[in-house]
Amino acid sequence: MTTETDRRIGSEHVSMQPSEYEILTAFVLQSTKLEAPINFPADEIKFAQGIEAASENAPFLGRFLEEGRLTVSAQGNIRKLLTEGILVRDDEIYRMTLDKTILDHLTSQVRMVFKEQGVTALIEAVSSAQKSWSESEA
């Protein structure tokens, strides 16, 4: 379980304090950096389980959870990612856009906010979330 202190992002991870939207965007963007890009479950409970697993690598992701569910803010940010075309819903999953222009823009934004250590933590966090989601489907 993450504490309020753990939910803050240390200066070793970021150049400036990002908004929750920027953190969630950076998290989902890192899914494209894995060997096999992943999709995200559209089911809120499953998504939250993945975020919980991801919080072990990046404790600041714990800010998106409240009593085992996504916070209202996290849900709103996911809707914003969908509205902006960053995430696309396909039945029971969300997947990252394939639009290279959007991906390049997001990558640039993430590099302005997150230091290399922060990006590495997010990539590891996405990998942990993926394992959680895979295990829940098995």
Q: CB–CB of 58/49 below 8 Å?
A: no
Are 86 and 96 within 8 A, CB to CB?
A: yes
Nearest CA to 133 out of 34, 62, 43, 66 is that of 43
All structural domains of the chain with their residue ranges: 20-133
Average pLDDT over residues 107-135: 93
- Helix orientation angle between 20-29 and 72-83, rounded to the nearest 10 degrees: 60
Higher pLDDT, 45 or 14: 45
- Pick the residue with more confidence: 14 or 22? 22
Q: To which residue do tokens 């929750």 refer?
A: 20
Rounded Cα distance between 62 and 14, Å, is 17
pLDDT over 60 at 5, yes or no: no
Specify the higher pLDDT residue, 33 or 115.
Answer: 115
Q: Is 69 helix (H, G, I), strand (E, B) or coil?
A: strand
What is the rounded average pLDDT of the residues 57-80?
A: 96
pTM, 2 dp? 0.88
What mean pLDDT comes out for the span 26-42?
88
